[in-house]
Every structure is written in C-alpha cells, then in structure tokens.
Structure 1
C-alpha cells in the first residue's frame, strides 16, 4: 500500500520532532537549573519550529525540504550557542540566516522581472533585509524586557548596540560569501534554494517569459517533485503519429501537481533535458496549440480549475516550449478520462495513481 506521507515529508516530520524533543529536554534541564534566559530561548524556538507547518496550512506557502533543513539547523545551532556562549553570538547567526532569506526573496523578484540579474544589488538587499530584521528583533526584545519583565541575562546599556553590530557582521559575512560563491565560483546551492522556493509556490511566484536563462537553469537541474518534462503534447516521438497516451501523460502530471505541492510542467523538453520543441506536434500556429491544450484541460480536468494554471510559450535556442505552472489546489482534483475518474499525486519525479483506501485516506488528510 502506498504510504500516504511521502519520503520527504517523513524526513521533515522526523527532523522537526527530533528538534522538539531536544528542545523539550533542554527546557526541563533549564527549569531545574533556573537559567531563565535559555529557558525563554527554548520556548521561542519551539514555537518557531512550527512556522513551516503554519505557513503551509494558513497561507498555502510551501517551504522546500532543503530550506527546512537549513531552517532547523539554524534553530538547533542557535540554542547550542545560547547554552555555550550565553547569547554572545546569537545575533551573528541570526544576521547570517536573515541574509540568506533576503537573498532568496530578491533573487525570486529578479526571476520574475525583465531586469538582468545584478548580484551586487541582490547582495545589497540581502544585507539591508538582514539588518532591518535584526533591528526589529532588538526592539522586540526591548519590549519584552520593559513590559513583560523577561530576563535575557545580564544586559547593560550597550547590549542593543552590540546586538546590532553582531547582526550587521553576520549579514556582511553571509552576503560576501553568497556573492563570491554564486558570482565567481559558480556555485548553485543558494540559487537552487531560491528556485526550490519559487517552484514550490507557483501560485505566489511565476517565471518571467523573458527570463530564458532561468528556464534553462531549471531544465539543467532535471526533473524532481516539482518539475516534469514532456517531449510533446500529442505526438509520439517514436512513431511520429498522434497518440492519445501523450495527452494523457500531460494531463496526469498537471493533476498530480494540483493534488500535491504544485509544480512546473515543461512541454517540448525530453527527459534528458534536450529541447525538442512544441513544433513537433504539427499545429499551424501557437494559437491553435493553446486552444488544443485548453480544450483538453477543460474537457478532462475542468474549467473551474483554470485559475490554478498559468501557461506561457517561450522560445529557447530557436525552438518553443510550453511552460505550465500549476498552483496547489485547495480541493481534490480528478482526471476524467475514458469514463473513469483518476486521482494522481506526485511521488518524487513521477506521478502515481491513488485509489481505494489510499485515496480516501489521502483526501481526508490533505483536504
């Protein structure tokens, strides 16, 4: 029987609860030792550990697995530093983490614009974002101390200034590291991290049709849970004939994205990432191609789900591809095909069918 929670979700849950168990143990230890500053820190971090689940349930914002791992590592590291160094360097680590978040936000904004990517401006925004959030945190901490009488340990009149200096230092370090890593060393970790966030939330972010380099970057990374390639919409590349199975495969991928975490389907690209082009489908013009695709969608999925879909035809290397961005559906979506209603979800880079008990359990849990 197919597991209702995907492998990546299992890893998330295990990581989250290992973190919370660690913090709960630390919580009771600090109660016995009456170290109130670290106790408050544990309570705050335990609450923040629920942030990814909160964002997904309330705002339908999905955080990719590698971002959650970075987020969880930051939380654990923060508590360990608080224990060992009594908060001396916590602002430094905060500044670095805020800087990563600022980079992701600005990079995604560039992805959706017609402006050529300028890494210097991205790093400046990353630095400014980190310092701004750090300043807000210092004000928040002051309010906790002044109004609620929270005890953050021994603090003098220079504590806020020192905290801001450490935040600025952390922001400077991470901004320089990311700039050198992405601009000169051609490293892809931070770029892939930003791409993951954008692809996991196609209802929030869309890829500009003028950002051909970004599309090529996505294609070069290959298929995954949020990206799938299809060579054609209706033509069998082996026989050269129109094949209904090709249309079914396209519709199946779209329904699976709707029912899972959303994603991007690129038609006109082979599984190995080579550009085939939608021209092979033999339509007289792009309008006819669009019309055929739209009619297929309305007939087999339903016109009521059109708002969850964004499509663009983009030219790459002299050929055209169809970019299909699928948002997360708030309702279960079935594929009506040859008299049957079929339910698909994503499992890694493939789409799988659920039925019977698995289908009921998944829909009950997910929707």
Structure 2
C-alpha cells in the first residue's frame, strides 16, 4: 500500500509539473504570438486530464504506473517534441515515440477486448490468439488514423507534421507495428500460459471486478 501511495504521489507531482510548464508555454506563446505553439500547449493541457476522465466515466481505476507512462508520453511528444523541437534535434525521436505509442495502443486494445471477452452478457469467446490479434490490429488502426490526421493538417493548414512525407509515414507505421507486436505477444502469453505480465497484472489488481465477471461466467458454464 505504501508503494502504491508513493506511485500516486509521483503521478500527481509529474502531472502538476507538466501543467505548470504548459501554462508557462501558453503565456510565452501569447507574448510571442506563436499561435500554433499556443494551440499545442492548450491541447496538451487538456490531454493531461483525459486519462482520468475516461477512467472515471467507465468506472475503471488506472494504476499509477499507467498514468505516469501516459503523462510521460504526452510530455515527450508535445512539450519536448513539438515545443522543444526535439523532432528536429534528434532524428530518432519520432521513431521512438511511434514505437512507444504502438505499445500503449496495443495495451489499450488488449484490455478492451480482454474485458469484453470475459463479459458473460456477450455470447462470444475468443481464443488468446484472436485477442492478441485484435490488440495488434487496433494499435495499427489507430496509428493509421493518426497518419491520416497528419496528412490532413499538412494539406489544409500547410503544416509539416509528416516531415519527409511518405517515407515518414511508412516508418511511423512500421515502428507502430513493432510496438503493437510487442504488446500483443505479451498479451498472448498472459492468457495462454497465465504468465504474470506486470503491466496487465497491475491493471487487474486495481480492477478485480473485471476478472470476477469471468469467474462468475465459468461457474455458470460448469453448472
């Protein structure tokens, strides 16, 4: 319990530091009339609250480690990447973030379908392979939608989100796939061999009722 409390404190401190930096960025952007940076800062500020809103609305508790990972990703992508120009300073920055986003989105896809697969009201039971496959395709689909968004922003507003165009898009999708594959493989073995993958175990430890549904379902099936 003490470790969990420490993790939540770290998450709160990290989130508040990010928000303070974003507010400072907003002030500087207004003074320098950097409207694009202002838009990015405001959007990122809103995103820092999004995990809590989604979790609370669906009655799900996000472990502190999940929240720290998500906030760190937002910080690296928006504050360092966009506002700090890390995308131009380091050639590997975009590749790293897209790989990481593939991992995160794969986790989201896995948890979504894993929970649905354990819902007794849904008359469909998928094998571990198809659950893992869904998490992979979900992450890749989200990655493709993001590339469409980047192309739209570049075409409509004359931005440079795609950097080198088609080459950037294809590498983004490739590393998205690698990140998603890492998560889906871990998800497969979590189901197939009941291996305690830390990231999934922590989520279900925080939300035991999601696993209780499956236990109730199995009991009904055996009766």
TM-score (norm. length: structure 1): 0.45
Query: Residues 95 and 131 of structure 1 are in contact (CA less than 8 Å); yes or no, is this contact kept in structure 2?
Result: yes
Which residues in structure 2 correspond to 1:337-352 (within 5 Å)? none
More helix by share: 2
1:207 matched residue in structure 2 = 213
Which of 112, 115, 138 is residue 108 of structure 1 equivalent to? Answer: 115
Which of 99, 113, 125 is residue 134 of structure 2 equivalent to? Answer: 125
Deviation at 1:124, TM superposition (A): 0.2
2:72 matched residue in structure 1 = 73
Cα-to-partner distance string for 1:200-257 (whole Å, 9 max, x where unaligned):
7x7xx98142235xxxxxxxxxxxxxxxxxxxxxxxxxxxxxxxxxxxxxxxxxxxxx
Query: Residues 15 and 48 of structure 2 are in contact (CA less than 8 Å); yes or no, is this contact kept in structure 1?
Result: yes
Report 1 or 2 for greater relative contact order, CA contacts < 8 Å, sequence distance ≥ 6: 2
2:50 matched residue in structure 1 = 51
Query: Residues 153 and 161 of structure 2 are in contact (CA less than 8 Å); yes or no, is this contact kept in structure 1?
Result: no
More strand by share: 1
Query: Residues 102 and 180 of structure 2 are in contact (CA less than 8 Å); yes or no, is this contact kept in structure 1?
Result: yes
Query: Residues 78 and 93 of structure 1 are in contact (CA less than 8 Å); yes or no, is this contact kept in structure 2?
Result: no
Which of 186, 189, 192 is residue 198 of structure 2 equivalent to? Answer: 189
Deviation at 1:130, TM superposition (A): 0.3
- The structure having more radius of gyration, on CA atoms, is 1
Moved more, 43-52 or 129-138: 43-52
Distance 1:60 1:79 in 2: 26
Deviation at 1:9, TM superposition (A): 6.7
Distance 1:101 1:116 in 2: 19
Classify 1:56/1:149 alpha carbon distance in 2 versus 1 (closer, same or farther; 3 Å): same
Query: Residues 27 and 39 of structure 1 are in contact (CA less than 8 Å); yes or no, is this contact kept in structure 2?
Result: yes
Give unmatched runs, 5+ long, in structure 2: none
1:359 matched residue in structure 2 = none
Query: Residues 162 and 169 of structure 2 are in contact (CA less than 8 Å); yes or no, is this contact kept in structure 1?
Result: no
1:358 matched residue in structure 2 = none
Give unmatched runs, 5+ long, in structure 1: 1-5, 213-313, 319-367
Deviation at 1:80, TM superposition (A): 7.7
1:20 matched residue in structure 2 = 19
Which of 84, 89, 101 is residue 96 of structure 2 equivalent to? Answer: 89
Distance 1:86 1:28 in 2: 26
Could you say what the CA RMSD is over the residues aligned between the two structures, in angstroms?
4.2
Classify 1:81/1:182 alpha carbon distance in 2 versus 1 (closer, same or farther; 3 Å): farther
TM-score (norm. length: structure 2): 0.68
Q: Helix, strand or coil for the counterpart of 2:111?
A: helix
Query: Residues 73 and 97 of structure 2 are in contact (CA less than 8 Å); yes or no, is this contact kept in structure 1?
Result: no
Give the number of aligned pairs: 207
Query: Residues 25 and 41 of structure 2 are in contact (CA less than 8 Å); yes or no, is this contact kept in structure 1?
Result: yes
